[in-house]
Amino acid sequence: MKKKILHLQLLPLMSGVQRFSLHLLDGLPLDDYEIWVACKPGGEFVDEIHKRGWNFIALPSFRHPVSPWDKVTFLHLLWLIQRHKFDIVHTNSSKPGLLGRIAATICRVPLVVHTAHGTAYLPHQTALVHWSYIQLEKLANRFCDKVIYVNNCDRLKAIELGVVPPEKALTIYNAMKEEPVANVRESAADTITIGSTLRFSEQKNVLRLIPALCKAARQSDKLKFIILGDGTHLQLCRSIVASYRLSDRILLPGWDSDVAPWLKLFDVFILYSRWEAMPFSIIEAMYAGLPVIGSTIPSIAEFVNDEVGWLLALDDEEALISTLISLPEHPDIIRDKGKKALAWVKQISNYPSMIAAYRDVYEGRR
């Protein structure tokens, strides 16, 4: 008999969290699982759900910030979980994780699983906000059977803080169903193109990154940048680039869901985030044979090392600019790190292994 599984998401965007659900659910055999997905309606993520023929439930009252509508969403979740009699409820991210896990437990769902795509408690928060999010996460973790972290550093930190009991916590690295074709260049180019795929947000640190790219481009005419994405800071970043009169060498074209052709244009990938979990963008870049420039936050440092890229301290603009302008002088190092990045990512981000690990959870073997 098929297991009826609900994946609960918040927004219908195609960020890493939603792509995780698509990659995971794509790997489940339809003979064994009946797939349902619930989130806020509209958007590319919902289009992908319909394209696959899965069952979709719209949650129109879902809001990203804390909202009085959360009560309505919680009651809606109670109603739909009770009505559909799911065998597994799998929640993703903080708010769906809190509301969904409590609702699923009240409805006596046999297995309740949560994947933590990062944490709500972050170092830059005030002490009260930080403490409050820790307490909320502790509460939510009481209402599930397993909490899956996409890196070891978040899992170990959660255990250290008493957020989750060790026996409930697992690490399963993200992986992609389809891997980009490796693009390791064998000959030097006239210019080095450094690229990224990201959201123009505080998390991705773009208001520090873009001015540094401008200053590096001023110092070296062998550098070109392509930063793909959208978000609240996109227009401001475009204005910054325009103020340096570098719009021909620092391209901010907006978002394109088909990133593979763009990756083929890059020599090096950069993600200078303030916080992350395990970004699919780095996985894609490494599978494309690209070395990675990353910030030294624990989650990126767990994935990127000096063998496969460059790790730079946050807010050290001088070090970032110095690293960028040195790249055109060392194409052999770029090629070597790119080859090692491809070999490394194949070891730690393996799609069959990810699917097998989640199936073990769904079948009660872990």
Side chain identity, residue 177: K
Looking at the domain 3-175+350-362, which fold is it? Rossmann fold (3.40.50)
Mean pLDDT over 276-291 rounds to: 91
pLDDT in tens, 85-100: 999 999 998 889 999 9
Side chain identity, residue 125: Q
Cα 361 to Cα 97, 115, 141: the distances in Å are 17, 12, 16
Mean pLDDT over 121-125 rounds to: 81
- Name residues whose C-beta falls within 8 Å of residue 40's C-beta, 6 or more positions apart in sequence: 10, 11, 12, 58, 59, 60, 62
Higher-pLDDT residue of 202 and 366 is 202
pLDDT at 366: 83
Domain 192-348 -> CATH class: alpha beta
pLDDT at 179: 67
Chain-centre distance for alpha carbon 252? 20
Q: Please determine, for residue 257, whether its predicted confidence score (pLDDT) is greater than 90.
A: no
pLDDT-derived band of residue 274, with 50, 70 and 90 as boundaries?
Answer: very high
pLDDT-derived band of residue 122, with 50, 70 and 90 as boundaries?
Answer: confident
pLDDT at 187: 46
pLDDT at 184: 54
CA separation for the pair 310, 328 (Å, rounded): 15
| Secondary structure letter of residue 180 according to DSSP | P
Q: Same fold for the domain at 3-175+350-362 and the one at 192-348?
A: yes
Least confident of 142-151, 186-195, 236-245, 280-289: 186-195
> By three-state DSSP, how is residue 24 classified?
helix
**b/e code 268-303 from CB counts within 10 Å (16+ = b):** bbbbbbbbbbbbbbbbbbbbbbbbbbbbebebbebb
pLDDT-derived band of residue 263, with 50, 70 and 90 as boundaries?
Answer: very high
**CA angle at residue 233 from 228 to 236, to 5 degrees?**
100
Q: Please determine, for residue 270, whether its predicted confidence score (pLDDT) is greater than 90.
A: yes
Using an 8 Å Cβ cutoff, are 349 and 174 in contact?
yes
Using an 8 Å Cβ cutoff, are 292 and 271 in contact?
yes
pLDDT-derived band of residue 176, with 50, 70 and 90 as boundaries?
Answer: confident
pLDDT at 67: 81
Using an 8 Å Cβ cutoff, are 273 and 203 in contact?
yes
> By three-state DSSP, how is residue 51 classified?
helix
User: What is the pairing mode between strands 292-295 and 309-312?
Assistant: parallel
Would the pTM of this model clear 0.85, i.e. be above it?
yes
pLDDT-derived band of residue 65, with 50, 70 and 90 as boundaries?
Answer: confident
Name the average pLDDT for the chain.
93
The per-residue DSSP string of 262-286 comes to HHTT-SEEEE--SS-S--HHHHHHH
**Residue boundaries of the structural domains of the chain:** 3-175+350-362, 192-348
pLDDT at 94: 86
In this structure, what token pair is assigned to residue 333?
Answer: 């190092």
Side chain identity, residue 19: R
Using an 8 Å Cβ cutoff, are 338 and 291 in contact?
yes
Q: Please determine, for residue 236, whether its predicted confidence score (pLDDT) is greater than 70.
A: yes
Q: Please determine, for residue 198, whether its predicted confidence score (pLDDT) is greater than 70.
A: yes
